[in-house]
Chains A and B, each alone.
Chain A
Amino acid sequence: MSGRIETAITSYTADTSIWTRTTWWCSVLAAALALSVTVASSAGPVDISYVSIAAIVADSVTAQLSRFGAPATSLFNGPSHYETIVVDVRLPRVAVAAVVGFALGASGAVMQGFFRNPMADPTIVGISSGAAVGAVAVIVYGLTISIQLAAFTGALAAAFTVYWLATENGRTGVATLLLAGIAVQMFLGAVVSYLIYTSDDESLRTAVYWTMGYLVHRDWSHVSSSLPVVALGFGVLMVYARDLNVLVLGEEDAATLGVDPQHTKRVLLAVTSVVTAAAVAVAGVIGFVGLIVPHAMRLIVGPDHRILVPTSAFAGAVFLVTADASARLLLQGDALPVGIVTALVGVPFFLYLLRRREVVRL
């Protein structure tokens, strides 16, 4: 970044209140999200124009709202199966990607602050591994409960175990939590490997795909089961964003500034765990979104979590929607797991940040 831009940003930062900046950035990112959703919904074998997609989306949104008395629009007057393709096939997948990206971006920003470590990731307390054990067990043994519920339960059980292991006399040490998380992840990883080893050919394929980020065959039920949890959790995280800012200074400092460190840590850990678990349960294990996106946003908007958490959430949604769409657009196929794309895009970007030493400084 050139010195001039930096100066401009600094003076802009100093003169503008945090909420004005947050609103401004979130509006920009929400617009980018709308754009990426539109572009992503156009990706597929049937060629549907952006204008048609926008019209279809507008129509279906107003149709939903008309239940509350708002007037319904009918902007789209093309072939009716286009509506089915967009509304029932493409949009659910895009919406799931957006919700999951949003959840991972927000949780990642919070976890990096929580651990005071830019290498932290929302899955660091064993959430992905726990979810994988639940989902893969259902797939391999053909259990009758849904994969989503099993993954969600597995994720929370793993997170709670890690928390329990790291807590002594009501105090949870951040370093202990990190180490306990790594240990539990390794153990659960072995469990997943064993489950996959004992599986037959067909379930093997599904199980492995699931652990690579699974956005295929998503429908609106996946959105309606994850979105409320993510939205509610995000609200709580925003309320605690200022406490998290103070907590980053260290627990003793935070305590003298009026933050109860143990209480705040418990809330943050519980909420990010639930939000991340809800995301992983509908989308499988998707790496790097929760790591890279908050990083990049911190370089752009600064370390204040009141702006970092919401912008990371929106940017995470944009990133995941775009990554999934680009896989479909470039490969003309449906099945490429999105986790592969995020890693392929994310790792070079991460290394670029690392070389610029920004990561080291954070």
Chain B
Amino acid sequence: MTAVTFDSVTVELSGERVLEDVDLGVERGEVFGVVGANGAGKSTLLRTVNGVLTPESGDVELLGDSVISLSHRERARRVATLPQSTELSFEYTVEQVVEMGRHASTPRVGGDPEPDAVDDAMEDADLEEFRGRSIDDVSGGERQRVLLARCLAQRTPVVVMDEPTASLDVHRAVEVLELVHGLARVQDKAVLAAIHDLDLAARYCDRIALLADGEVTAMGAPCDVLSEENVEDAFGGRVSTSHEGFSRVSAFSDSMESQREPVHVVGNGGACLEAVYALWKKGYRVTVGAISGNDPCLSTIDSFADTVVAEEPYSRVTPESVERVRRLVDDAEAAVVALSTFTEGFTPNFRALEDASEVALELDDLTEDEAEECEETLAKHGVRVEPSSDTQERDDGALSTRDRVS
């Protein structure tokens, strides 16, 4: 049975539509992530599962029953909630707060039918040393773990988490998500979590739904959902993603429209990325190439450059590519050579620079011998290099080139 089912759920908050026609299902044993920009409706979505909000139309089912048909007590036995924040105005001890997770399962008269639930939860959340400590005397991260333990003490088949890693440092955030991921597997729980950090969401969620303006715009495996296009659409700004090994999502501001005349960068590796990023930041349109298909920085470079001429992995630069690069250099106002490694296979690129009026060099990553060899090779190809060894230009060699041109 599907643990949580959303059937075209629409939610309005004070007249404003916050969720629109959401359909999704969360299975037991999986961690299902909800990602999206602030105000996209993540918390609203979670709050329809635990019954805090009632949908305007559509239905949320919890283990086969509509949430609104269940009593508060029955809901709390089926779904535990990790709140984003909590008001704790009286000095309860950590243990007392965790114990409140047992409220729905403990009858009014008589003891807790599962007496070890509190201790187990405290152990899982690594809280044993805080047992008798006042909740006011623990740090924000520890408080988050107390709430997590309270959630675990509920021993529910479904867990809803609103920003489980908020106010946790990186190390703790990873620990908490490892724990949650493990619980989903071992105890066959269905976990539905709103996660702000896209990297962590991609690493620990089995599936992800991307939410934008109250609508699910993409859903599925993290590497499919967190494509540059999807993320840019949902969050705005510029994004670079990579899903090799583990997922990385890097966001950049989009405040600057690239409007200034193009600059072409011939390069590879980190040096090339630095040059491209510096130029992009200053508002230039950037073209790049030809670059190896297995260059470690290719995907990031790609997100800042208008055009990238890329080769097949491990192959030499082909004559066709050289022609394309030559056309880009012709269109460009200036050219930059920025290399992290200098190899024989890269040199055909230099032929494309013959006609460039002036070329800035960025070779700091190379050894002295390599740099010398590179400069000789450039000269052999008749490239007029701007006489510059000033590292000030490192950031933006092309700018000074252009200034000279104008």
A contacts, CB < 8 Å to B: 10-11, 13-14, 113, 116-117, 239, 242-243, 245-246, 248-250, 252-253, 255-260, 298, 302-304, 361-362
Contacts of B80 on A, CB cut-off 8 Å? 256
Q: Report if A249-B101 is in contact (Cβ < 8 Å); known contacts: A255-B50, A255-B52, A256-B80.
A: no
Instruction: Flag B131-161 by CB within 8 Å of A: 1 or 0 each.
Output: 1100010000000000000100010000000
* CB pair A255 B51 closer than 8 Å: yes
Identify which of B91, B96, B101, B136 contacts A257 (C-beta below 8 A).
Answer: B101
* CB pair B89 A116 closer than 8 Å: yes
Query: Does chain A have a CB within 8 A of B108?
Result: yes
Q: Report if A253-B73 is in contact (Cβ < 8 Å); known contacts: A258-B103, A303-B90.
A: no
Q: What DSSP secondary structure best describes chain A's contact surface?
A: helix
Contacts of A259 on B, CB cut-off 8 Å? 72, 103
Contacts of B349 on A, CB cut-off 8 Å? none
Query: Does chain A have a CB within 8 A of B253?
Result: no
The listed residue with most B CB atoms (<10 A of its CB), out of A117, A252, A257, is: A257
Identify which of B52, B90, B95, B104 contacts A258 (C-beta below 8 A).
Answer: B104
* CB pair B136 A361 closer than 8 Å: yes
* CB pair A253 B86 closer than 8 Å: yes
Query: Does chain A have a CB within 8 A of B392?
Result: no
Closest to B72 in A: A260
- Nearest-neighbour CB distance to chain A for B189, whole angstroms, equals 16
* CB pair A249 B87 closer than 8 Å: yes
Complex Cα spacing A246 to B154, Å:
13
* CB pair A257 B90 closer than 8 Å: no
* CB pair A14 B81 closer than 8 Å: no
Q: Report if A249-B76 is in contact (Cβ < 8 Å); known contacts: A257-B103, A303-B91, A361-B91.
A: no
Identify which of A116, A117, A249, A362 contacts B91 (C-beta below 8 A).
Answer: A362
Additional A-B contact list (19), CB under 8 Å, known A13-B132, A361-B91: A113-B90, A245-B100, A248-B90, A249-B88, A249-B97, A250-B86, A250-B87, A255-B72, A256-B50, A256-B76, A257-B101, A257-B150, A258-B75, A258-B104, A259-B103, A260-B71, A303-B91, A303-B96, A361-B136
* CB pair B132 A10 closer than 8 Å: yes
- Nearest-neighbour CB distance to chain B for A308, whole angstroms, equals 9
Complex Cα spacing A302 to B133, Å:
12
Q: Can you offer 7 A-B residue contacts whose CB atoms are under 8 A? A: A242-B108, A249-B100, A253-B81, A253-B86, A256-B51, A256-B83, A303-B90
B contacts, CB < 8 Å to A: 47, 50-52, 71-73, 75-77, 79-81, 83, 86-93, 95-97, 100-101, 103-104, 106, 108, 131-132, 136, 150, 154
Complex Cα spacing A201 to B343, Å:
111
The listed residue with most B CB atoms (<10 A of its CB), out of A117, A249, A256, A260, is: A256
* CB pair A14 B92 closer than 8 Å: no
* CB pair A11 B132 closer than 8 Å: yes
Complex Cα spacing A252 to B47, Å:
10
Closest to B74 in A: A258
6 residue pairs, one from A and one from B, having the closest CB atoms: A258-B104, A258-B76, A256-B81, A303-B90, A10-B132, A250-B87
Complex Cα spacing A250 to B52, Å:
12
Identify which of A11, A113, A257, A298 contacts B100 (C-beta below 8 A).
Answer: A257
Contacts of A117 on B, CB cut-off 8 Å? 89
Complex Cα spacing A197 to B77, Å:
59
* CB pair A249 B86 closer than 8 Å: yes
* CB pair A116 B90 closer than 8 Å: yes
Contacts of A255 on B, CB cut-off 8 Å? 50-52, 72
Complex Cα spacing A239 to B108, Å:
7
Q: Report if A245-B73 is in contact (Cβ < 8 Å); known contacts: A256-B81, A257-B104, A303-B90.
A: no
Contacts of B81 on A, CB cut-off 8 Å? 253, 256
Contacts of A14 on B, CB cut-off 8 Å? 93, 95, 131-132
- Nearest-neighbour CB distance to chain B for A256, whole angstroms, equals 4
Identify which of A258, A302, A361, A362 contacts B72 (C-beta below 8 A).
Answer: A258
Closest to A12 in B: B132
- Nearest-neighbour CB distance to chain B for A118, whole angstroms, equals 8
Complex Cα spacing A246 to B81, Å:
14
Contacts of A362 on B, CB cut-off 8 Å? 89-91
Contacts of A11 on B, CB cut-off 8 Å? 132
Complex Cα spacing A14 to B154, Å:
20
Complex Cα spacing A361 to B91, Å:
8
- Nearest-neighbour CB distance to chain A for B332, whole angstroms, equals 58
* CB pair B71 A245 closer than 8 Å: no
Contacts of A258 on B, CB cut-off 8 Å? 72-73, 75-77, 103-104
Q: Report if A304-B92 is in contact (Cβ < 8 Å); known contacts: A10-B132, A257-B100, A361-B136.
A: yes
Closest to A240 in B: B108
Contacts of B91 on A, CB cut-off 8 Å? 302-303, 361-362
- Nearest-neighbour CB distance to chain B for A353, whole angstroms, equals 14
* CB pair A13 B93 closer than 8 Å: yes
Closest to B90 in A: A303
Complex Cα spacing A242 to B102, Å:
11
Contacts of B86 on A, CB cut-off 8 Å? 249-250, 253
Complex Cα spacing A11 to B132, Å:
7
Contacts of B97 on A, CB cut-off 8 Å? 249
Complex Cα spacing A242 to B47, Å:
24
Contacts of B79 on A, CB cut-off 8 Å? 256
The listed residue with most B CB atoms (<10 A of its CB), out of A248, A249, A361, is: A249
- Nearest-neighbour CB distance to chain A for B57, whole angstroms, equals 19
Identify which of A239, A246, A249, A302 contacts B93 (C-beta below 8 A).
Answer: A302
* CB pair B51 A246 closer than 8 Å: no
Q: Report if A256-B52 is in contact (Cβ < 8 Å); known contacts: A249-B86, A303-B91.
A: yes
